[in-house]
């Protein structure tokens, strides 16, 4: 099962950056958000957070 650490490793950022991106913080670059979103969709991580 994929977790937030796996996503961070794939995207090349810290776990806290992925967490901030998933929670809508504005201090994360748009490019990083897109990479994280794509990776989450591919691994279905978002279903875990969205119920």
Q: What single string gives the DSSP state of each residue in 1-51?
A: ---HHHHHHHHTS-HHHHHHHHTT-TTS-HHHHHHHHHHHHHHT-HHHHH-
Which residues make Cβ contacts (< 8 Å) with residue 37, sequence separation at least 6?
Answer: 21, 46
- pLDDT confidence of residue 40: 78
All domains of the chain, ordered by start, with CATH? 4-50 (1.10.260)
Tokens of 31: 């490019």
Which pLDDT tens digit goes with each residue over 1-51?
Answer: 778 898 899 889 999 998 898 888 999 999 988 888 888 777 776 555 544
């Amino acid at each position: 099962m994929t977790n937030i650490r796996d996503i961070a490793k794939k995207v090349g950022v810290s776990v806290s950056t992925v967490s901030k991106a998933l929670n809508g913080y504005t201090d994360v670059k748009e490019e990083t958000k897109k990479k994280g979103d794509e990776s989450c969709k591919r691994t279905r991580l978002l279903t875990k957070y969205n119920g």
